[in-house]
Amino acid sequence: MKKIITILKMMVYMSLISFLSSQAIIAQGGGETAGNNLSFPVIFADGGSKVLPGTMEQYLLNGEWWYVWGEDPADPQGTIYSCKPSEANENHCENTNQPPGDGNSTVYKAYVQKDVDNVWQAYNTSIPDGETLIIDWVDWGDNLESVAWDIDSKVRTELVLLKDLDELVTQFGMRHVSGWGSDEVHGMQTQMNNQPVYGEGTQATVYTPKLRFTVQKLNYTRESIPPSRLTWDPEMKKWTETNPEDVDIINDPIYNQAAFEAGTGSGYFSAEINVKGKIIYGYTWDVNSINDGEGHYRITYSFDEGDGTSGRAILGATTQIVLPIEEEATTITNTAAVLEEPSDGGVAILDPANNLTYMDVLIGQPGETLRTESFEMETFYMYPNPVVDGMLNIKNINGSTVTIYSMFGHLVFTSKLNASQDVQTLDLSALHSGMYFVKVSDGRNTTVKKLILK
């Protein structure tokens, strides 16, 4: 487990370096500044826009290119199958003086980003004035969903908003060409005759300058705070105690900024075209400099009100969270390992009523537990989590009933529990994939945990 966490943190660190280095790059050989081209479609909302190189759905490829083949790597553990063409014989690789490829895979070209002589632009459009677009998917960065972080970390927070499209649009296929981190290079994939290899073109990212990023310290462990104890204040744009006379559950924001308020440089929450050609929101949280001590922090993405005229984008009842890929979910066979080493990563929550999504993440060591009379029951264990085959096991139960709620608070499952059985199995195969809350109660006391169904 520790090895896996170390690898995950290394991947995020390299991604951070890559992002920072992509903001202003000197094109190879030319000395001119070249930005990243848009490869993935985008929809602009709330009057927002980005300067995009080139002309929509057009391309001009006269710059540097590499040979690529095989499977595109997904992480630093993968192999990059590529080579730069030889200057003496462009039909051969520069590093081997042999023809490119592995003898089986199709060989392609990849025209690199950040070269002023390589220009392309995927489909993009704006929401018409007066219209409202419902975002279909919210994709949180995997680093927040995977592991806890140290108090001296630099945590890269990223978010992508996605809309499913009714018609196919132009998306340019991309390939990883070389390097990781600060040396990472991607390029537009083409056939050997320079005809583009197009992407699926079935989705677009959504960019609005009204998206806000807020960080607040929880003074108790996230698991011990019932959702009803905190309320979102849309005027102050922060979470606060539902009961003003309650104990101090959450602090004022240590960071609170909308994308349209961003200044220049890397120290602000903003959205940029990344090296893969997709518009993503990002912020590098220097925890060592900005913190309220160790414990759980609530990271919130909310939407400021628009101007009442421009087309706007919002979260709705049909919006879903893109679930993280849990590589361990299909490989762990020892139940004890699951119980002894639970993930300290966060779970993304949708709150369409307040037009926001949030996640509680652990920085350093957790704080104390919020004690209330209705939350004193001995905890229970449930596994596997995520559930991949519809079957959920519950262990060490003192309760008499189990109820499961959707993320919107709807009751979707209920069952009596047999206290004489050490482990009981619930059949949840009738439920859709997504995030749920599992509540075990003995009639007086209650414990609630989060559950993901795949």
Per-residue pLDDT of 236-294, as tens digits, reads 999 999 988 778 999 999 999 999 999 887 789 999 999 999 999 999 999 999 999 99
- Per-residue HEC secondary structure of the chain comes to CHHHHHHHHHHHHHHHHHHHHCCCEECCCCCCEECCCECCCEEECCCCCCCCCCCCCCEEECCCEEEECCCCCCCCCCCCCEECECCCCCCCECCCCCCCCCCCCCCEEEEECCCCCEEEECCEEECCCCCEEEEEEEEECHHHHHCCECCCCEEEEEEEEEEECCCCCCCECEEEEECCHHHCEEEEEECCCCCECECCCCEEEEECCCEEEEEEEECCCHHHCCHHHEEEECCCCEEEECCCCCCCCECCCCEEEEHHHCCCCCCCCEEEECCCCCEEEEEEEECCCCCCCCEEEEEEEEECCCCCCCCEEEEEEEEEECCCCCCCCCCCCCHHHHHHCCCCCCCCEEEHHHCEEEEEEEECCCCCCCCCHHHCCCCCEEECCCECCCEEEEECCCCCEEEEEECCCCEEEEEECCCCCCEEEEECCCCCCEEEEEEEECCCCEEEEEEEEC
Specify the pLDDT at position 230: 93
| Mean pLDDT per 10-residue segment, the chain (454 residues) | 41 43 35 78 97 97 98 86 96 96 96 97 98 96 73 91 98 96 91 98 98 96 86 96 87 97 88 96 94 94 94 95 53 27 68 95 76 49 88 75 75 78 86 83 68 88
pLDDT of residue 397: 59
Q: Which residue reads 């003496």 in tokens?
A: 88
pLDDT, residue 173, reads 98
Give me the residue label for tokens 């995977």.
Answer: 146
pLDDT of residue 26: 30
**pLDDT score of 333:** 27
Question: For residue 388, how far is the Cα from the chain centroid?
Answer: 20
What structural domains and CATH numbers belong to the chain?
A: 373-454 (2.60.40.1930)
Considering only CA atoms, which of 453, 64, 448 is closest in space to residue 223? 448
**With a threshold of 0.85, does the pTM exceed it?**
no
Tokens representing 279 are 């518009």
CA distance 68 to 72: 9
Q: Could you tell me which residues are beta bridge partners of residue 133?
A: 313
Q: Which residue has the tokens 């990849």?
A: 110
User: According to the model, what pLDDT value does residue 324 have?
Assistant: 62
DSSP β-bridge partners for residue 363: 149, 295
Please choose, from the candidates 174, 418, 412, 146, the residue with its C-alpha nearest in 3D space to the C-alpha of residue 439.
Answer: 412
pLDDT at 381: 76
| Nearest Cα residue to 187 out of 78, 77, 96, 85 | 85
Direct distance between the N- and C-terminal alpha carbons of the chain, in angstroms, rounded to an integer: 22
Task: Say if residue 303 is exposed, middle or buried (CB neighbours under 10 Å; 0-12, 13-18, 19+).
Answer: buried
In the prediction, which pLDDT does 10 show?
44
Query: Does residue 295 contact residue 216 with C-beta atoms inside 8 Å?
Result: no
